[in-house]
Amino acid sequence: MFFSHKHQQVIGFVVIFLFGILHGANDLALYQKINEEKNTISLKKIILYYIGVVILGALLFYSFPIMALVLFILFSGYHFGEQHWNKLKDKGNNTILTIFQTIYGLFILFLLFQFHELEVKQIIFQISKTSIDFLNFKLITLAIGILLIISGILLNKKTTKLKSEIILNIFYLLIFAIVFKTADLIWAFAIYFVVWHSFPSIKEQIHFLYGSYNFKNFKRYFKSAFIYWIISLFGIAILYFLFKDKEIFNAMFFSFLAAITFPHTIVIIKMQNKA
């Protein structure tokens, strides 16, 4: 890329803070919409439930970091894969589709990891105090790629929709590989996270909440999410000022991201089932 390593990191964090965090800031509104027919859960209870899950995720990272990392990677794998392949969902293929989506998302993550293996292993060590130098990310990526092909073949037997989406998503994987190889870890993750995940997710959420996607509804979405977005940014700002001169900030940032990923993924699953 054209920016220095330091500038790529700064730009990457800024982009994630501005747009990546925004796409998860309206989870409470989504949860209310999902449960509007039941009308039995108050906003206060939803907030307490959401905070509880975030705290539980944070405690899990503190007490059992390796287990938390594995769960985070699996949750993120499904969450990213679901965004790419949610058009394939129907009543007859839910199990194999979930497996396929998870493997596809994991392939994207490990495609990123293998191009930045040393840095990823360093971050994992900072989080868990456990060395994973014995792991070969290239072999893991290859194995996941083989599983992706196998699960794709099985899914193709369940739905005819796969063929219409597969060429585009293979093209995406080529683009991801180029971006991941040429960009810094944070900048590469930011590009993928914002362009291919956050923006499409925001569009889907707006459609679910307000019936259609347009600028007027985007403003409604932003207004609804604003306070929670600011709170999240404030929390990250505290981490930055506490750890800005330490390498551990990257580890703290990804731990924070993981803690809010758990409840967000659950909400999006419920939204997709309701839509």
- 87 DSSP 8-state letter: G
Question: What is the Cα–Cα distance from 226 to 237, expressed in whole angstroms?
Answer: 16
Please tell me the least confidently modeled range out of 49-53, 96-100, 215-219, 262-266. Answer: 49-53
Kindly state the tokens that stand for 112: 């990123």
pLDDT tens column, 56-68: 777 777 788 888 8
What integer pLDDT is reported at residue 55 of this predicted model? 77
Mean confidence (pLDDT) of the chain:
84
Question: 117 pLDDT band (50/70/90 cuts)?
Answer: very high
Question: 191 pLDDT band (50/70/90 cuts)?
Answer: very high
Mean pLDDT of 16-41: 78
Residue spans per domain, the chain: 5-274
Query: Would you state the torsion angle of the CA atoms of residues 266, 261, 199, 11, taken in this order, to the nearest 10 degrees?
Result: 180
Question: What is the Cα–Cα distance from 114 to 52, expressed in whole angstroms?
Answer: 34
Taking CA atoms, 227 is separated from 25, 33, 169, 198, 222, in Å, by 8, 18, 35, 18, 9
Question: 21 pLDDT band (50/70/90 cuts)?
Answer: confident
User: Hey, how many other C-beta atoms are within 10 angstroms of the C-beta on 178?
Assistant: 11
What integer pLDDT is reported at residue 86 of this predicted model? 83
- The answer on pLDDT for 220 being more than 90 is yes
What integer pLDDT is reported at residue 245 of this predicted model? 59
Specify the long-range contacts of residues 57-62, CB closer than 8 Å, at least 24 apart: 57/258, 57/259, 57/260, 57/261, 57/262, 57/263, 58/255, 58/256, 58/259, 61/127, 61/255, 61/258, 61/259
pTM of the model: 0.87
Handedness of CA 109, 114, 119, 120 (dihedral sign): positive
Question: What is the Cα–Cα distance from 185 to 9, expressed in whole angstroms?
Answer: 8
Question: 12 pLDDT band (50/70/90 cuts)?
Answer: confident
Question: 192 pLDDT band (50/70/90 cuts)?
Answer: very high
Residue of 242 and 263 predicted with greater confidence? 263
Nearest to 165 by CA among 89, 93, 103: 89
What integer pLDDT is reported at residue 247 of this predicted model? 57
Helix (H, G, I), strand (E, B) or coil at 184: coil
**Share above pLDDT 90 across residues of the chain, in percent, rounded to a whole number:** 39
What integer pLDDT is reported at residue 33 of this predicted model? 85
- The answer on pLDDT for 166 being more than 80 is yes
- The answer on pLDDT for 90 being more than 80 is no
pLDDT tens column, 241-254: 776 655 566 666 76
Query: Would you state the torsion angle of the CA atoms of residues 144, 118, 79, 200, taken in this order, to the nearest 10 degrees?
Result: -110
Mean pLDDT of 94-103: 91
